[in-house]
Amino acid sequence: MNLLEAETLWELVERRASATPDREMTVDEDGRRITFGEYQAAAERAAAGLAAGGIGAGQVVSWMLPTWHESLILAAALSRLSAVQNPIIPIYREREVGFIAAQAGVEVLIVPSRWRNFDYRAMAASVAGANGAGLEVLVCDRALPEGDPGALPPPPAPARGGDAPVRWLFYTSGTTADPKGAQHTDASILAAARGMVECLDFGPDDRGALAFPVTHVAGPIWLCSSLLTGGANIIIEMFDPVRTVEVLRRERVTMAGSGTLFHQAYLAAQRKNPGERIFPHLRNCPGGGAPKPPRLHYEVKDELGGVGIVSGWGLTEVPILTMARQDDPDEKLAGTEGRPMPGVQLRVVTLEGVPAGPGQEGELRARAPQLMQGYLDKALDADAFDEEGYFRTGDLGVIDAQGYVTITGRLKDVIIRKGENISAKEVEDLLYLHPKVADVAVIGLPDPSSGERCCAVVAVKEGSEPLGLGEVQEFLRGKGLRVQAVPERLELVESVPRNASGKILKHKLKERYAGG
């Protein structure tokens, strides 16, 4: 029985439960533990309860639960029923959820009654009312419907090859536009998981931190990675810099993810306990969601231990396209997002629309086993793919002679000042080296004379003296940054706003500061 050959999530659940039924699969902050055998049994009971409520193959079920045991059980239960599941990030509100429900034809919406002082039951009821009688609301507070698994029909045989049906709908975060629904199969999720397992050298004795929302596309990927390897997940309902560190330490974390925001919090905790390592069993710190400042890798390696940050790059539409490896040299771990995953084809196209040479910057475009089956709104596909079928990621980067990928920014994150392109990431990486800077975002703001002006938004380290614009400018000039790219404006904030996966919310900063 080869787990790597599983074609569906449910097939993987069955194979893992058969192989290691008594091995721990998940543990939460309260110490509740579930083995792989218990996981399969709970998922079958939940599937039977959901089926009794009318959920079956092909039906679209949205769920926006926190990162709980029950969330992972629900994912497997819906897979057992061959439903189409649509995990929704819990920070979404009525506008986004209503749009998704209408576009995707959602038949069941599963929510908690109330979580983090927000009334999800009321929101779901309002969405259901706007969608007519076709949308049912199911409220689940750490308890799923249960039934007799013996009443379930046999699971359908997995589709092989290119006939795999769409089983997942993931919506990308909208900023000025409506969110976009990316259609995924179990095969595309499993492709990303298999690659990540290989790159991280993920094994049965590993204990990974599932500290981000499980409804993010990375949630099912981590779930599948655990099922592939027999490793455990330490699940965190809501990331907290103090409590989360205590839980990860208690549970002997070996892989502490999963992005810049998290790694900075772990470093801050370590610096408050300089006499001993807070994570004595740490092997690596997986990264993703947003490019990291290169210096952060060295800080993590030197202070937290392990090999440092092992990061990857991808998008909701095509997750984990590249990833570093445990044994990569430090300069590659620090400055790149690794090399392409198995089966991934990347090309770089300059801003002028011609193929880029080695080391030349351009838009990264991809074909890959983990590529979505297109957007739910087919009208979006024309602009999303080029004439050769490569997905246009919108990310700028370079690929070096060894195949390592460095993300240099976003097409929409290039600041154009007096006709010259300024990479926001280039300025951010340099500013992160300043001893007073804890976090930074660089944005372009409208300017009537130059087109855009470069603005640095900085959160200073705790206990640091205030940072001034002149000090910032002098520091960057001293680092060799060309004069045209030096910020003309500085804004100090308590914290740089990021979403649940760690990406900086630059559109919010632009809205805040564009007026003056």
Calpha distance 39→12 (Å, rounded): 12
At 454, the pLDDT band (50, 70, 90 cuts) reads very high
**Res 461: pLDDT:** 93
Query: Are the C-beta atoms of 206 and 253 separated by less than 8 Å?
Result: no
Mean pLDDT of 190-204: 96
Closest CA to 501 of 140, 90, 63, 115: 90
For 437, residues 6+ apart whose C-beta sits below 8 A from its C-beta are: 431, 458, 459, 460, 461, 467
**Res 411: pLDDT:** 82
Selected residue with higher pLDDT from 254 and 130 = 254
Residue whose pair of structure tokens reads 């009688």 in the numeric block: 133
Mean pLDDT of 117-128: 96
Domains of the chain plus CATH, in order, are 3-149+163-187 (3.40.50.980), 239-410 (3.40.50.12780), 418-513 (3.30.300.30)
Calpha distance 212→439 (Å, rounded): 19
Nearest 10 degrees: Cα torsion 94, 98, 101, 104:
-120
How do beta strands 345-349 and 414-417 pair?
unpaired
At 160, the pLDDT band (50, 70, 90 cuts) reads low
pLDDT digits (tens, 9 = 90+) for 381-403: 999 999 999 999 999 999 999 99
Query: Are the C-beta atoms of 137 and 109 separated by less than 8 Å?
Result: yes
For the record, the structure tokens of 175 come out as: 């900023």
Q: Is 90 exceeded by the pLDDT of residue 156?
A: no
Mean pLDDT of 259-283: 94
Average pLDDT of every residue of the chain: 93
Calpha distance 170→371 (Å, rounded): 12
Closest CA to 263 of 281, 251, 248, 252: 248
Closest CA to 291 of 189, 398, 387: 398
**Res 288: pLDDT:** 86
Q: Report the number of secondary-structure helices (H) and strands (E) in the chain.
A: 15, 23
- One-letter amino acid at 369 equals P
Residue whose pair of structure tokens reads 């959901």 in the numeric block: 50
Calpha distance 35→19 (Å, rounded): 12
How far, rounded to the nearest angstrom, does the alpha carbon of residue 456 sit from its chain's CA centroid? Answer: 25
Query: Are the C-beta atoms of 73 and 110 separated by less than 8 Å?
Result: no
Residue whose pair of structure tokens reads 């919406």 in the numeric block: 109
For the record, the structure tokens of 337 come out as: 């997002």
Of the CA atoms within 13 Å of residue 48, those in its CB half-sphere come to 13
Mean pLDDT of 146-169: 86
pLDDT digits (tens, 9 = 90+) for 33-89: 999 999 999 999 999 999 999 999 999 999 999 999 999 999 999 999 999 999 999
Q: Is 70 exceeded by the pLDDT of residue 272?
A: yes
- For the whole model, what pTM was predicted? 0.86
